[in-house]
Amino acid sequence: MENGSSLRRASRRPTTILTALLLLPALGGCTGIIPGVMPHDLRYDAAKLEHDRCDPTPVDPRLYGPDIIQKVEPYYRFVMGGPNGGESHLAGAQLELRPLAGVTEELLERGLECRSAQIMLGHAQALANEPYAFADSWVRIDVKSGHGAFVVSLAAEDSARAREVLERARAFAPPRP
Cβ neighbours of 53 (radius 10 Å): 13
In this structure, the answer to whether residues 27 and 46 fall within a common structural domain is: no
Q: Which residues are CB-contacts of 89 (< 8 A; sequence separation ≥ 6)?
A: 76, 77, 78, 79, 159, 162
The residues facing 86 across adjacent strands are 80
- 124 near 60, Cβ under 8 Å? no
Is 23 among the domain residues?
yes
More confidently predicted of 133 and 56: 133
Band (154; pLDDT cuts 50, 70, 90): very high
Residue 151 carries which DSSP code?
A: E
Is 80 among the domain residues?
yes
Range(s) of the domain holding residue 13 = 2-35
Quick check: 84 pLDDT over 80?
Answer: no
Tens of pLDDT, residue by residue over 18-54, are 444 444 444 444 433 334 434 467 788 888 888 889 9
Tens of pLDDT, residue by residue over 61-75, are 999 999 999 999 999
Is 167 among the domain residues?
yes
Tens of pLDDT, residue by residue over 137-147, are 889 999 999 88
Q: Domain count of the chain?
A: 2
Task: Give the integer Cα–Cα distance in Å for 159 and 7.
Answer: 55
pLDDT more than 70, % of the chain: 77
In this structure, the answer to whether residues 7 and 71 fall within a common structural domain is: no
In this structure, the answer to whether residues 21 and 72 fall within a common structural domain is: no
In this structure, the answer to whether residues 62 and 149 fall within a common structural domain is: yes
Is 177 among the domain residues?
no
Task: Give the integer Cα–Cα distance in Å for 107 and 143.
Answer: 9
Is 15 among the domain residues?
yes
